[in-house]
Homo-oligomer: A and B are copies of this chain.
Amino acid sequence: MSLANRSLVSLDDLSNEEIEAVFSLASDMSADITNQRHVCQGMIMASLFFEPSTRTRLSFEAAMHRLGGTVITAMDVGATSLAKGESVADMARVVGSYADIIVIRHPWEGAAKVVAEYAGVPVINAGDGGHEHPTQTLLDLYTIKMERNTIKGLRIALWGDLKYGRTVHSLACALARFGATILFRPAPGLELPDHISRKLSTEYKGQIKKLDITEQSGEERLFAVDAVYAPPSSPHQLAMMPDIGLEVELEGGVDALYVTRAQKERHASGTDRDGGKKKYPVVDRRLLKGKEFKQTLVMHPLPRVDELAREVDADPRSLYFKQAARGVPVRMALMSLLLGTIPEPAAQPSESFSRKVEYPHYSRDIGVRCRNPKCVALNEPGYIGAEFQIINGKPLTLRCVYCEHETFPRYIASTEWHNGTVEAKRYHSADSHMARKIRPENLIAFDSEGEAQSLGFKPSRYNRWSVSE
């Protein structure tokens, strides 16, 4: 399947082979970066930044200039018609008629997907709220790949804000797809959220194991890993057993240490970070003296604040500025492939460690809707419907196809009520035995009994039972 004329909204839009193809081309291009001006000559990239992100924008724009194309830019568009009153879909259609490719950052989660649906030209998501920023993850992976020649079998530590960091969530999934072992070292209170842990253990083939950091000795507390993800092929799979500690896992050393800043919380300066539990952990010269970091690539998506000491900058293991620089060739490769202006590199064989999970689709005009206040579906209800994947039956779990937030509807019904298959227009508790009897294509879900009743549904007797229980 060709990449030409496709969009990149989420990294899941690309297979491992396609990602390797991007990397292969990026590597070729970066070897002669000022000599690629023929590739996209005459092409126009629209750079639409509905949220400030100068670094990402400049990287994309530099990439398009290196390819010989031109750029039209809209930034800080809060006050213009592109933002106010006009729908994202209309904006996409209009800008799609001006430009050959659109790069969009938008505060609403799922907005890039809507743009991709309407623009008529390839669209790249440059960040949609807290949801996805796939080219950041691409350049992170690319950096590791360039330095280690593979991702499979590496040991990558994720450091800092693992709770709110969109970058970290995407990277964790991407590393799992490529068969890496992941060590989670959160700042206190900023641990990896359950839905990411669950995703790692259901949609990828490995296992995640929590560790008790209170057991760890003083020195180790600097690198207080509280969970490990191990891919199926890992020789350390046995290390997941409770009686084998982190030490075994770390024997081979950490291949990369991916540091992130606090996204949402203020934290005290890291100077005496060992004193208080609540301090944000800092990567500095002292930490990197640990023998597990002897060969470690120190990475950071930037901008950094205090979590990565400046004294590390001159260390040969520090890779974060090189990592940022690599955003340009990665974006060059990606854009020329989506625009179809360059032959696709020969297929790059790549073993995938993700399960291809085909969840049943849920799409209704009535009933439950995504409740994420930042979801594009909630902000543009006029034409974006309720679209979910049914990712679990018990508890009933719907994942919004736009923002991927999960919702847990409490009541259900079936569209087959008019056929007499079930009692006419009854709703049931989502965890009653009726749930199993409704086929996914017939499912109607409700957030509340009131919602069901306002749509003319009556409580089922089973439901009343479960309520009285």
B-binding residues in A (CB < 8 A): 34-35, 37, 41-42, 44, 46, 52-55, 57-59, 61-62, 65-66, 70-74, 76-77, 79-82, 85-87, 90-91, 93-95, 97-99, 302-305, 310, 321-322, 324-325, 328, 382-383
**Residue in B52, B65, B90 whose beta carbon sits within 8 Å of that of A70 in the complex:** B65
Q: What separation, in Å, do the CA atoms of A423 and B202 have in the docked complex?
A: 73
Pair B74/A58 contact, Cβ less than 8 Å = yes
**Residue in B61, B74, B90, B97 whose beta carbon sits within 8 Å of that of A328 in the complex:** B97
A41 — nearest CB in chain B belongs to which residue? B37
**Residue in B71, B81, B97 whose beta carbon sits within 8 Å of that of A54 in the complex:** B81
Pair A93/B321 contact, Cβ less than 8 Å = yes
Pair A53/B72 contact, Cβ less than 8 Å = no
| Closest chain B CB from A285 CB (angstroms) | 15
Copies in the complex: 3
**Residue in B41, B70, B82, B383 whose beta carbon sits within 8 Å of that of A55 in the complex:** B82
Pair B72/A55 contact, Cβ less than 8 Å = no
A33 — nearest CB in chain B belongs to which residue? B42
**Residue in B44, B58, B90 whose beta carbon sits within 8 Å of that of A95 in the complex:** B58
User: Which residues in B have their C-beta under 8 angstroms from that of A95?
Assistant: 58
User: Which residues in B have their C-beta under 8 angstroms from that of A41?
Assistant: 37
User: Which residues in B have their C-beta under 8 angstroms from that of A70?
Assistant: 65, 70
Given contacts A42-B34, A86-B303, A305-B85, whether A94 and B62 have CB atoms under 8 Å apart is no
Q: What separation, in Å, do the CA atoms of A310 and B73 have in the docked complex?
A: 27
**Residue in B42, B46, B53, B383 whose beta carbon sits within 8 Å of that of A81 in the complex:** B53
User: Which residues in B have their C-beta under 8 angstroms from that of A71?
Assistant: 72
| Closest chain B CB from A27 CB (angstroms) | 16
Q: List 24 A-B contacts (CB under 8 A).
A: A35-B42, A37-B41, A37-B42, A52-B77, A52-B79, A52-B81, A54-B77, A54-B82, A58-B98, A62-B98, A62-B99, A73-B73, A76-B79, A86-B302, A86-B303, A87-B310, A90-B304, A91-B303, A94-B321, A94-B325, A97-B321, A97-B322, A98-B325, A98-B328
Pair B81/A55 contact, Cβ less than 8 Å = yes
Pair A302/B90 contact, Cβ less than 8 Å = yes
Instruction: Known A-B contacts: A57-B74, A76-B79, A93-B324. Give 14 more (CB < 8 A).
Output: A37-B42, A42-B66, A46-B62, A53-B80, A54-B77, A55-B81, A55-B94, A58-B74, A58-B95, A62-B98, A85-B305, A94-B324, A94-B325, A98-B328
User: Which residues in B have their C-beta under 8 angstroms from that of A79?
Assistant: 52, 76
Q: What separation, in Å, do the CA atoms of A74 and B303 have in the docked complex?
A: 16
Given contacts A94-B321, A97-B321, A303-B90, whether A46 and B72 have CB atoms under 8 Å apart is no
